[in-house]
Structure 1
Amino acid sequence: MSVSEPTTLSPIAERAQAPAEVRLPSADHGLTWRPLSVADVPDLTSLLGRIEEADAEPFRTSPEEVAEKFDGDWKDPARDTLGGVDDSGVLRAWAQVTQPPGDTTVVRAFLEGGVDPQWRGRGIGREVLAWELDRARQVLAATGKDVPGRIGAYASEQTTSALALLRACGLTPIRYYSDLHRPLETDLPDVPVPAGVQIVGWSEERDEEVRLAHNEAFASHWGSEPQTAESWRSGRSHFAPQWSLVALDEATGEVAGYLLTGRYEQDWEIAGHSSGYVELLGVRPAWRRRGIAPALLAAVMRRLHADGIQYAELGVDTENLSGALGLYTSLGFTPFYRSTLFTIEL
C-alpha cells in the first residue's frame, strides 16, 4: 500500500475486543458490588472528598457535580457505573465509564474511579480498573462507529500509584495538561478589542450559536469531538454566566469567539484564594489572528477583578498547536497543576 492510500480500519466491534461479560471485582475484599444511582450522590461525594484529600488534589467535587454524572440520556448508570460498599453500608470504591454522544472522528470511552484511602493496598483498584476496561470495550463496540477508538483516563502528576496502575494495565501516556492561574490584584493586561468586533456578555439566546461556534473552533484540535446540544448543556452546575463572554462580528452579528467560565467556590478554601475558571475559550477560524482570544481573556479578568475575585484560572493542552500556552503565559498565567491522559488506542 502506498503512503497516499488511506488505512482501512476493521469494524470497531472487532477492534474493541469486547468481552461477553465484564470482570467484577472479587467479593473477597469485603465489598459488595452494585451499580450506582442518583440516590448515591451524598455517599459518592463523601468518597470523592476523601480520595481528593488523600491525593492532594487542588479541588473538591461538589454534590452538584456528582449528580451531573448521572445526567444525560446517553448515559446508562445501571451498566456503566460500579460501587463497592462495605458491611456497614459505606461506599468504599467507585467507577464510571462515559462515552460522549457526539464523537465522530474518534469514538472515546473515558474511565473515572477510585478507592477509599483506608481501603487501598488490597488490589481493589486494579480490579476496578479491569471492570472499567471491560465495560469500555463493550461500550465502544456497541457504538457501531467504525472510526478510530480510544479508551482514556486522566491522572494527576502527584498520584504516583494511579499513574503506575494505569501503565501496568496497558494504558500509555499520550497527552499532558496544565492548569494555570494569574493573580488579578495588580497589572491587569490592557488588550484592545479588535476593530469590527464587539464583546458582550453570554446570554441564553446565543447559547446554541456558541455551541456551533465551539464545534467549528475546535474541529481541528487534538482530542476534541463535536458537542451535541444535550452534552453541551450538561455539566453546568457551576457555570458563571456573569463571567462568560461572546465576541460578535459587528458587520454580520455572527459569533466569532467565546469564553465560558465556571465558579467553583468549594475549591477556594483549599487554594487559599477565590478564582474564576475559564472552561472554554475559542475563536472560529475566519476570525483568528486578530487578537480576539487575548481580548476575551483581558475582558474576563476585568470582570473577575471587579467582583473581588483574586485569580483567573484555565487549563491547556501543553502540545496544543494553536499557541494557546504561549498566549496564556504572555498574559501572566503560570502553571500550578498538571495531569496526564493515558489511553489505549484502538
Structure 2
Amino acid sequence: MRWQRVQGMPVEHTSELTVRAATLADAPAVRSLINEVDLVDTGDAGYSVEEVEGDLRRAADLARDSWLAYDGDRLVAYAVLWPASTGVRFDVDHYVLRDALPAGIHLLDLLTERAAEITAGADLHLALTPDSVLAVHALPARGWRNVRRHHVLTRTLSVEPPPALPEGVGIRAVTSPADEEIAYRLVQETFAGHFGFEPTPYDEWRKRMDADHRDWSLTWIASRDGVDVGVLVGHNDREATGWVQNLGTVAAARGSGIATLLLRTAFTAFSLRGRRAIGLGVDTENVHNALRFYTGLGFELQFAADTWRLVVA
C-alpha cells in the first residue's frame, strides 16, 4: 500500500482500490452510491444532491474526516465522520455496495483510526439497516455493538388542510435569527435525556444543521398563551419525501395536542410543495410512546435501522 498526492489531495492506492477524501463536487456521485445502496437495503432511493452537500458540510475537517473508495472508476464505498458533541461522541455515515465489502471494511478501519487520532475514547455511532452488508459481515468482528433500534416511518400526503388552532395556541414558521435560537433552545430542552442526544452549543448546532443553507420556513414553533412550548424542525431536501428532523414539546405541554398541530402544519406545508409523503425516525424504546403516537396519525413502517456503537481504544 502506498500514498501519493493528486491535485493536492492524499490518495491511497492498493492493487484494487483507490481511496481519497470527498469534496462538495463529489456530491452527485455520492448521491448515486447512497441511492443504489438504499434501494437494496430499504426499498427507497430518495437521497438528493443537496442532502449530500449538507452532510459533507457537517464534517469538522472534510479533507481528513471523509473517504471515497474507488474500484477503478467506480465509486464503491463512502464514509464520513461527524462530531456529535463537544466531547468524544461522533456520528458515522457509511455506504458500501454489496459486492465491495472489502472496500467498506477498509473505510471502516480508516475512520476508526481517524477517530482515535482526534480524541482518546472516541465514541462512534453508526446507523444501518439490520441486513446491511456491514452490519452482518463486519461490525461485530471489529467490536461494534448493536445498542438500539429505530424505525423510519412514512405517511402519504394528499391535499392536507391546515389545522384549526385552539384558542391561545399559535404556530409560526421560523423567519428570523431570534426564532432560530428559540428553535435551538426548544430542541435542546425537549430532547434532553433521549437516546443518542448530546447537548450542543448554539454555533456547533447551526453547523450540524447546515443552518446557512437550510430552508427555515419548514421549521415551526408552537406557543400556548404566549409561551413557546413546541418545535418541529423539517427539511425538504429529499427527492419526493418531506422530512421531520426533530419534533418536541416541553414537559408541561405534552399530551395537549401541540405535537399533533405541529405535524399537521407540516403535512400542509409539504403537500403544498408537491411532496408525496412525509417521513421521520422514531426510537422504538421512546418512553413517551412516540411510535403509537405517529402510527395514530397515519404513519407506517418503512424500514428499521439499528444503531451500532464502538468506543475506540
Same fold (TM over 0.5): yes
CA 1:108–1:265 in 2, change beyond 3 Å: closer, same or farther?
closer
SS at 1:69 equivalent: helix
Give the letter for the 1:169 counterpart.
Answer: R
Contact 1:25–1:131 (CA under 8 A) maintained in structure 2:
no
Tell me which residue corresponds to 2:189.
Answer: 216
Alignment of 1:162-311 (within 5 A): 162-185=135-158, 193=165, 195-205=167-177, 206-233=179-206, 234-235=209-210, 239-251=214-226, 254-266=227-239, 268=240, 275-306=241-272, 309-311=275-277
Instruction: Provide closer, same or farther for how the CA distance between residues 260 and 150 of structure 1 changes in structure 2, counting only shifts above 3 A.
Output: same
Identity across aligned pairs (percent)? 27
- Equivalent residue pairs, number: 300
Equivalent in the alignment of 1:314? 280
Partner of residue 120 from structure 1, selected from 100, 109, 113: 100
Task: Give 1:153's match in structure 2, choosing from 121, 126, 130.
Answer: 126
- Unaligned runs of 5+ residues in structure 2 are 1-9
Following the alignment from structure 1 to structure 2, what is the Cα–Cα distance between the partners of residues 132 and 282?
Answer: 32
Q: Is the 8 A contact 1:194 1:291 kept in 2?
A: no
Larger mean Cα displacement after TM superposition, 196-205 or 170-179: 196-205
Letter in 1 for 2:153: L
Separation of aligned partners in 2, 1:129 and 1:301:
38
Deviation for aligned residue 1:63: 2.1
- Pick from 83, 86, 111 the counterpart of residue 99 of structure 1: 83
Summarize the Cα distance change of 1:300–1:47 in structure 2 as closer, same or farther, 3 Å threshold.
Answer: closer
In structure 2, what is the Cα distance between the partners aligned to 1:48 and 1:179? 17
- Deviation digits for residues 264-321 of structure 1, max 9, x if unmatched? 452x3xxxxxx32212111123333322112212332234445554433221111111
8 A Cα contact 1:108 1:140, kept in partner: no
What's the counterpart of residue 5 of structure 2? Answer: none
Report Cα offsets for 1:217-258 as digits up to 9, x if no partner: 11121210123333433336985544432102333xx42111
* 1:25–1:128 Cα contact (<8 Å) kept: no
Give the Cα–Cα distance (whole angstroms) in 1 for the partners of residues 28 and 243 of structure 2.
25
TM-score (norm 1): 0.74
| CA–CA separation in structure 2 for the residues paired with 1:86 and 1:98 | 25
TM-score (norm 2): 0.81
Q: How far apart are the structure 2 equivalents of 1:162 and 1:264?
A: 27
In structure 1, give the amino acid aligned to 2:117: Q
Question: Does the CA-based 8 Å contact 2:47-2:238 persist in structure 1?
Answer: no
Partner of 1:271: none
The structure with more strand, counted as a fraction of residues: 2
Aligned residue for 1:68? 54
1:30 to 16, 19, 42: 16
**Using the alignment, how far apart are the partners of 1:113 and 1:95 within structure 2?**
4
Taking a change above 3 Å as real, the CA distance of residues 242 and 94 of structure 1, as seen in their structure-2 partners, is closer
Whichever of the two has the greater Rg, that structure is: 1
Instruction: Report the Cα distance in structure 2 between the residues aligned to 1:298 and 1:256, rounded to whole angstroms.
Output: 16
Two-structure CA RMSD over aligned residues (Å): 3.2
SS at match of 1:70: helix
